[in-house]
Amino acid sequence: MFCVKWFFLINFTLGIKIGVREPQTERPTYRGSSKEERIDVRFSVVMPHSIFQEKDYLKEISRAKRQLARMPFQEEFELNPSLVMLDAMPGPTQVLEKICDQFLGKNIVALLYLTNSENYGRETVASQYFLELAKYVGLPVISWNADNAALEQTTGLEKLQLQLAPTVKHQAQAMISILERYSWQYFSIITSKIGGYLSFTQALRDIVTDPKNAEKKLQILDILHTDNPKEDLQKFERTESRIFLLYCTRKEAQQILFQAKLIGITGRNYVWIATQPVLGEFKEALPALPSGMLGVHFETSTDALIREISTAIKVFGNGFNNLYHTLHFIEEGGGGIFP
């Protein structure tokens, strides 16, 4: 909650000041104010376009807003969420119009951006463009993106963005947890060249080289980034590795595992652990997947996406409530974070 508090403290103080009311010499007291006198705080919930799901989107937004009704900030502020639907692959012009006209033009102080696409292609690029443009104009974004692997994952507060979906770093940590559970110390990394493959590899390297994990004696034997499995996997014919961590799409996994079977590294003496992009949202297993294969998975269905609306709004509400308490503490002479 600490990082959420600072995320809102840095970004929304400016947003409320500019977007909701003009600066005043003396700050009026609103405790016990009526609904008409409360300050309007506008934020937008950006969802994939769907005429069939629009009603469910609005229902979940209303439900989540009601859950925040008893928070102390409601004495002075009223949250006013609005639903905005965006095409799966919006053009640059459409994104620009949304950001400039619909968000900045209507004094929106933050965006909640949720997508469940797992195509790891043009739709991911569209999400990246949306987030980059929001960052450029200074709009804070709380996001839940299933295909966030290719998105920027730096943690600086100046990014103005908070990712709620499991990232490649989280998936790498989950894989290492499996290795630790069964005392497997040596492993190899095999990836295609989809977005985020370097981040995935670096995350595993960071975990292995972390001094905290020194006693676990984890070791990466081989690393392969392939766009031609038929040729590239030949190097594993005489590998000492028995554990393989796989990061690629479902389609690429079929090709990689088919070649792996041909060279004999998918039998009972080998273990493969796959990331979310390999598993996807489908319930059935791919024919090429070896028996006993493990995977790191989180739900990305439409129902799961709609449930995450409530999570995102709760994060927004709790962060805003922390900001409210902090500003009152400073105003009442408590000192605080400012010199």
Per-residue pLDDT tens digits for 111-123? 999 998 877 666 6
Residues 96, 86: contact at Cβ < 8 Å?
no
Residue pLDDT, tens place only, 67-106: 999 999 998 999 999 999 998 888 888 899 999 988 999 9
pLDDT for 274: 94
CATH superfamily to which 168-295 belongs: Response regulator (3.40.50.2300)
Rounded to an integer, the average pLDDT of 31-43 is: 73
Residue pLDDT, tens place only, 322-331: 988 888 766 6
**Where does residue 276 rank: exposed (0-12), middle (13-18), buried (19+ CB within 10 A)?**
buried
pLDDT at 20 over 50: no
pLDDT at 23 over 70: no
From residue 237, alpha-carbon distances to 161, 233, 240, 259, 325 in Å are 44, 8, 9, 11, 61
CATH hierarchy code of domain 2-165+301-331: 3.40.50.2300
**3-class DSSP state of 222:** strand
Same fold, 2-165+301-331 and 168-295: yes
**C-alpha triplet 195, 200, 201: angle, nearest 5°:** 115
Where do the domains of the chain lie? 2-165+301-331, 168-295
pLDDT for 16: 43
Residues 278, 248: contact at Cβ < 8 Å?
yes
What percent of the chain is modeled with pLDDT above 70?
81
Residue pLDDT, tens place only, 250-303: 889 999 999 999 999 998 999 999 998 888 776 666 777 888 889 998 888 999
pLDDT for 280: 76
pLDDT at 245 over 90: yes
Residues 140, 16: contact at Cβ < 8 Å?
no
pLDDT at 34 over 60: no
Sign of CA dihedral 128, 170, 290, 286: negative
Taking alpha carbons only, the member of 168, 196, 91, 96 closest to residue 139 is: 96
Rounded to an integer, the average pLDDT of 204-231 is: 93
pLDDT band at 151 (very low <50, low <70, confident <90, very high): low
Q: The sheet that has 186-191: what strands, in order across it? A: 219-225, 186-191, 243-247, 271-274, 294-295
Mean pLDDT of the chain: 83
pLDDT for 129: 86
**What is the rounded distance in angstroms from the CA atom of residue 148 to the CA atom of residue 128?**
9
